[in-house]
Amino acid sequence: MADRSERVMIFIDGSNMYHSLKHFFKRSDIDIGRFCYKLIDKRRLIRIYYYNAQVGRREEPERYQHQQKFFAGVSAIPYTELRLGRLVYTNWPSSPPYEKGVDILLATDMITHSYKNNYDTAVLVAGDNDFVAAIQAVKDNGKNMEVALFGKERTSLQLRKVADKVVTIDGRLLRGCWK
């Protein structure tokens, strides 16, 4: 049973979420606000942190414009912070760009807010096993740690093991969350 006094912060790896939605549901038009309120149930939302990397304006002007509109929508969600790393373009366009700084930004924020006692429970929406040490640090600081994952039980095994609770992101959870 959800406790209204339990303070929750949600940390979303935007790139992971986008690619997982595309892979599992063949669409990405999710209403992040509605999705997050489903994750917290009846608990008290403190803040949503959404992490991504900004597309290069010069390298990909059309994708950049589309992403700016999306980011404006994310920023408009009450109690939401948009946190951006960067995309590094090396040998563009023959090699795809890669993210820089996003995972470390997310992990640092999750741990910092834990030590500042800004939440009771953190919900991480990500599939990267690199977050295992950050999750353990949050738990070692006396906080609850939930991980929301796409896919079957075989995915992200280390995340599943270290989390206090695993929430499976499936069609049932996403019902009513599409735009």
Residue 2 pLDDT > 70: no
**pLDDT tens-digit series, residues 144-171:** 999 999 987 767 899 999 999 999 999 9
Distances (CA, A) of 47 to 20, 75, 111, 113: 23, 12, 14, 11
| Rounded CA separation 108/124 (Å) | 13
Residue showing tokens 């790139």 = 15
Q: Which residues pair with 124 in a beta bridge?
A: 11, 147
129 in Cβ contact with 156 (< 8 Å) = yes
Angle between helices 102-115 and 132-140 (to 10 degrees): 10
Domains within the chain, CATH numbers bracketed = 7-98+108-150+162-169 (3.40.50.1010)
Count Cβ atoms below 10 Å from residue 167 Cβ, excluding itself: 17
Residue 97 pLDDT > 90: yes
Its pTM stands at 0.95
| Rounded CA separation 81/78 (Å) | 9
Which pair of structure tokens corresponds to residue 84? 């951006």
**pLDDT tens-digit series, residues 30-86:** 999 999 999 999 999 999 999 999 999 999 999 999 999 999 999 999 999 999 999
DSSP single-letter state for residue 128: -
Which pair of structure tokens corresponds to residue 151? 């896919």
For 9-30, give the DSSP string: EEEEEHHHHHHHHHHHHS---B
